[in-house]
Amino acid sequence: MTTTVPPLLEALAGRRPRRLPVWFMRQAGRSLPEYRAAREGLTMLESCLRPQVAAEITVQPVRRHRVDAAIFFSDIMVPLRLAGVAVEISPGIGPVFEKPVRSADDVRELVAHEPGDPQPVVEAVRLARAELDGVPSGDASWTPLIGFAGAPFTLAAYLVEGKPSRDHLAARALMHADPASWDALLGWCARVSGAFLRAQVEAGAAAVQLFDSWAGSLRRDDYVAHVAPYSKAALDAVSGVPKIHFGTGTGHLLPDVRDAGADAVGVDYRTPLDEANRLLGGATPLQGNVDPAMLAAGWDALSAHARDVVTRGYAAPGHVVNLGHGVPETTDPDVLTRLVELVHALPGSAKSAAEGAA
């Protein structure tokens, strides 16, 4: 029977669609020549805040690869820029802040900023949705758009360090040296991230993903006490759509990542999906977790690895195939297209795989 529910949303609801859904983190841009053409002459943040440009980049990978979802083209720094925080994204470095947040006075000054006007984001989502509504996905006549935001800890880590850091020592020190300022900082980050997610959902996003790039640097007790409540606050800002929570290096935190308000958990490439399913009690839809390095390892190695990921993912109630981190910018786009075709040709469940082998 034909369904109007795209495979992505079926899988996030814990069901097994006939076709395995697949999309890639950082698919909106990075390796595509059409992305570089769309962004020519524009900085990253300028590209994100020009609705026509952001919408065009959002739908490019759906046109090229026929993935089962678009991820909204933006950056985790956009809500900070909209709130009036002085931040730039320096090529080859990443986010750089004019004034790092290091003291109680710095925190008080920061949290006085209100979430900014999301109109450029709203308009970009609406433009992208207008095109995606006519692009089939599985048996459905439309392809869903995923909204996203950076998790409060990741935003706070950038704000405190003032630039990318390998170990986030200053952020982790502030967490313990001044718990009141830390709570105020994380609460503000949750508010702006939550508002950013809500704007995307209200404009038409059919699911959301909260990215916690740096939570893997934390001990579990620190994550549970000082971080997870704020991730939950950000996720709780939206309702009515499935919520994916993804972090890198978070194999030791997976149940806590789920319990922060997620309907599905993204698993990075370090933790096999059958092990992740066991840690989560067999009741949580999973997303992941092809190793991005395998995209450059040759088709034989990549295809064998992708089949193994899918087989391990059969243990979960639902599985969205994805990378275990973002698309490297040096990736050959044709490899991604071929990987999508492979995933779509594989059985959607262990039962259908067994029936096909019989």
Rounded distance between C-alpha atoms, residue 287 and residue 342, angstroms: 17
- For residue 281, the tally of other CB atoms under 10 A from its CB is 9
pLDDT band at 356, cuts 50/70/90? confident
pLDDT in tens, 61-93: 999 999 999 999 999 999 999 999 999 999 889
CA distances from residue 4 to 1, 126, 129, 140, 325 in whole angstroms, order as listed:
10, 20, 16, 4, 29
Q: What is the pLDDT of residue 2?
A: 47
Question: Of the residues 16, 19, 35, 39, which is catalytic?
Answer: 39
Active-site residue (options: 16, 35, 50, 75): 75
Query: What is the pLDDT, as a whole number, of residue 3?
Result: 59
How does pLDDT run across 172-226, given as a tens digit for each residue?
999 999 999 999 999 999 999 999 999 999 999 999 999 999 999 999 999 999 9
Q: Are 67 and 26 in contact (CB under 8 A)?
A: no
Q: Are 330 and 31 in contact (CB under 8 A)?
A: yes
Active site residue 75: yes
30, 81, 129, 312: the active-site residue:
30
pLDDT of residue 248: 95
Identify the residue with better confidence: 193 or 4.
Answer: 193
Asked if residue 232 has pLDDT above 50, the reply is yes
User: Does residue 158 have an active-site annotation?
Assistant: yes
Residue 287 has pLDDT above 70, yes or no: yes
Indicate which residue of 16, 50, 129, 158 is catalytic: 158
237-256 confidence digits (pLDDT tens): 999 999 999 999 999 999 99
Judged by average pLDDT, the poorest of 2-6, 90-94, 235-239 is 2-6
Q: Is the pLDDT of residue 97 over 80?
A: yes
Q: What is the pTM of this model?
A: 0.97
Answer for the pair 302, 339: CB distance below 8 angstroms, yes or no. yes
Amino acid at site 2: T
Q: 145 has which bridge partners?
A: 70
Write the DSSP string, 202-265.
HHT-SEEEEEETTGGGS-HHHHHHHTHHHHHHHHHT--SS-EEEEETT-GGGHHHHHHTT-SEE
- Per-residue pLDDT of 40-69, as tens digits, reads 999 999 999 999 999 999 999 999 999 999
* C-alpha atoms less than 13 angstroms from C-alpha of 265 in its C-beta half-sphere: 32
* 3-state DSSP assignment of residue 152: helix
Reported confidence tier of residue 1, pLDDT bands at 50, 70, 90:
very low
| pLDDT of 32 | 95
pLDDT of 358: 66
pLDDT at residue 236, rounded to an integer: 98
| Mean pLDDT to the nearest integer, 118-133 | 98
Query: What's the mean pLDDT in 269-287?
Result: 98
Q: Considering 16, 19, 26, 198, which one is annotated as catalytic?
A: 26
**Domain 7-357: which topology?**
TIM Barrel (3.20.20)
314 catalytic, yes or no? no
* Distance of alpha carbon 183 from alpha carbon 168, whole angstroms: 17
In the 8-state DSSP scheme, what is residue 201?
H
Neighbours of 118 (CB within 10 A): 20
Q: Where are the alpha helices (DSSP H) in the chain?
A: 7-12, 33-38, 44-48, 51-65, 78-82, 104-111, 119-132, 152-161, 169-177, 179-203, 220-226, 228-236, 254-259, 273-279, 299-313, 333-345, 350-357
CB of 55 closer than 8 Å to CB of 124: yes
What's the pLDDT score for residue 4? Answer: 86
